[in-house]
Amino acid sequence: MRMVDLIEKKRDNQELTKEEINFIISGYTNKDIPDYQVSALLMAIYFNGMTNDESTALTMAMLNSGDTIDLSKVEGIKVDKHSTGGVGDKTTLVLGPLVASAGVKVAKLSGRGLGHTGGTLDKLESIPGLSINIEIEDFIKQVNDLGIAVAGQTANLCPADKLLYALRDVTATVPSIPLIASSIMSKKLASGSDVIVLDVKIGDGAFMKTIEEARELSKVMVGIGTSVGKRVVAFITDMGQPLGFAVGNKLEVIEAIETLQGNGPEDLTELCNEIGAYMVYLGGRTATLEEAKTLIKEQITSNKASEKQHKLIEMQGGKLPDLDGFVQVKEVVEVVSGTAGYIEDIDALAIGVAAMKLGAGRETKDQDVDPDVGVVLNKKVGDFVKEDEALAYVYNNKEDIESILEEISDAFVITEKPVEKKSIIFEIITEKDL
């Protein structure tokens, strides 16, 4: 086989076979095929797309390029969830313990934040003592004993995806639905769970900007998972404004703890209850989805979910923070509204970038984050704000943040007419929709 012939084939919009895709991925991982040829192929895929068979073959080739996690020693059905990333997205910290407390095993490998989106690992590591570096045997033991473990991805999980992602980043080929779908699904399938619930976000703070794109990505991912025998459901959800109020590592940990105590923001609570119910139902814990919804709500009212979250923190070496003194910053600055009116929009991307500039996130992979800083919204879309009332509170440790404060203020669009609050969930795609 010659790489040039395969590039030509894809350029002419013909379907690549599984063997050809395996040849490309193993050749690229072994450094037998150079970047420039793979770059050309990626651009051909960007323009011509891939069939479902091709996307599945690419996913499996990337999965087989490295280690896979064998969860067969964990009893019962294992469930996982993945979010395509957003601003203020602390769902794993809420959902994981919520679902585990309902009796379904959660084995979760998470990532770090990059750019305007945060990462679960940075949030967890903001809790003093907590470690996400768990050996696989301990990870499996913890999932069996506690029902949940959250760890960092091992270095050798899907190495082909790491190489391809870096190349896509510099060849303008990141926003390709089959490439995004196979990148996400290769890592999820390598992590070994039986059930995968995907949270595909739409909006200015997300990868997908429209419902049509999100629907297509969801269908491709559900199709890939189903074709290899997994139960996969995709939620399409709103990232038109930050999720919840808090953006920033410790600030989000506090919000996640409060949410499981029954005092969470409406949107985060709705999202976690709905996704949680699907995870519990597909995890085989209840006979119907309705029963799963009831069971999830009971986990909060009975305090069981909150207890599970505290145990998770302790078991991974963390000390449950005293929420009052947890965040230590030089100053908390109020961003106030210049006019009275209803909040029509809060630019999630702008808030995410502002939080990153404060130090809550990283612009490049190797930067450290400041766990204490960030933004807490005081108003969400649909709320009324009075003149001079706070729109947001900025937790800051830096000098001279005037331009950041301005960006946060500009992120709010205020109108005279009342604005309706929408559900955060737009659609749910299951294998029946394929």
Residues of the shown chain interacting with ligand URA in the complex, contacts defined by CB under 6 A: 84, 165, 179-180, 183-184, 207
Cα 21 to Cα 4: distance, rounded to the nearest angstrom: 13
Contact call for residues 151 and 138 (beta carbons, < 8 A)? no
As a whole number of angstroms, the distance between CA 331 and CA 340 comes to: 26
Considering the complex, state which of residue 201 and residue 379 has its C-beta at the smaller distance from ligand URA. Answer: 201
CB of 419 to ligand URA, least distance (A): 30
CA-closest candidate to residue 332, choices 389, 254, 402, 394? 394
Nearest approach, Cβ of residue 253 and ligand URA (Å): 23
Under 8 Å CB-to-CB from 155, ≥6 apart: which residues? none
Cα distance between residue 219 and residue 226, in whole Å: 10
**Residue among 276, 204, 215, 269 at smallest CA distance from 239:** 204
Output 165 or 426, the one with its CB closest to ligand URA: 165
Query: Nearer Cβ to ligand URA, position 71 or 206?
Result: 206
- Closest approach, Cβ 120 to ligand URA, in A, equals 13
Helix, strand, coil shares of the chain, percent, nearest 5, are: 45, 15, 35
Mark 140-160 as b/e (b = at least 16 C-beta within 10 Å).
Answer: bebbbebbbbbbbbbeebbeb
Active site residues: 82, 161, 168, 183, 187
Residue (52 or 303) nearer to ligand URA, CB: 52
Nearest-approach distance from CB 420 to ligand URA, in angstroms: 31
Q: 152, 110 in Cβ contact below 8 A?
A: yes
User: Among residues 23 and 207, whose Cβ is nearest to ligand URA?
Assistant: 207
CB of 92 vs ligand URA, minimal distance in Å: 15
What CA dihedral angle connects 283, 288, 293 and 299, to 10 degrees? Answer: -60
